[in-house]
Structure 1
Amino acid sequence: MIWRLFGEKESTHAQMHTLEAMMAALIMIGVIVFAVEATSLTPLTSSTANAHIEAQLQTMGQDMLNVLSYTSSGQDSALKNDVKNWNGTEFVWNGTEYRSTDSSNTTLVNSSLADIFSFIAIPRGIAHNVHFTWTNDDGVTISRSYIYNGDPSDNAVIVSKKILLSDPDIGNTSSFMVNTGIPDADNTSDFYNIVNVKMTLWRM
Structure 2
Amino acid sequence: MTLIIITGIIVFTVQATSLTPLTSSTANAHIEAQLQILGQDMLNVLDRSQSGQSSGLKEDILNWNGERYIWNSTAYVSENNNTLTNSTTADLLMDVIVPKGIAHNIEFTMVNDAGSVVTLPYIYNGEPSDNAVVVSRRVLLSDSDITDPTQFRSHTGIPDADTSTDFYNLIDVKMTLWRM
The TM-score with structure 2 as length reference comes to 0.87
Give the aligned partner of residue 46 of structure 1: 24
Q: Percent identity at matched positions?
A: 60
Paired positions, count: 162
Q: Whose radius of gyration is greater, 1 or 2?
A: 2
Structure with higher RCO (Cα < 8 A, 6+ apart): 2
- Supply the AA of the counterpart residue of 1:81: E
In 1, Cα distance between the equivalents of 2:21 and 2:152? Answer: 45
- Supply the AA of the counterpart residue of 1:125: G
- Check the 8 A contact 1:43/1:53 in 2, yes or no: no
- Supply the AA of the counterpart residue of 1:48: T
Structure 1 or 2: larger helix share?
A: 1
Helix, strand or coil at the partner of 1:176: helix
1:180 alignment partner, one of 124, 143, 156: 156
Helix, strand or coil at the partner of 2:83: coil
Aligned pairs for 1:1-204 within 5 A = 44-101=22-79, 104-204=80-180
In 2, Cα distance between the equivalents of 1:161 and 1:143? Answer: 14
CA deviation string 1:107-163 (max 9, x = no partner): 000111111110010100100000001001111000010000000000000000000
Q: Which runs of 5+ in 2 are unaligned?
A: 1-17
- Check the 8 A contact 1:156/1:202 in 2, yes or no: yes
CA RMSD of aligned residues (A): 1.4
Helix, strand or coil at the partner of 2:92: helix
Q: Which runs of 5+ in 1 are unaligned?
A: 1-38
- Supply the AA of the counterpart residue of 2:161: A
Displacement of 1:169 in angstroms is 0.4
Give the aligned partner of residue 35 of structure 1: none
Displacement of 1:57 in angstroms is 0.2
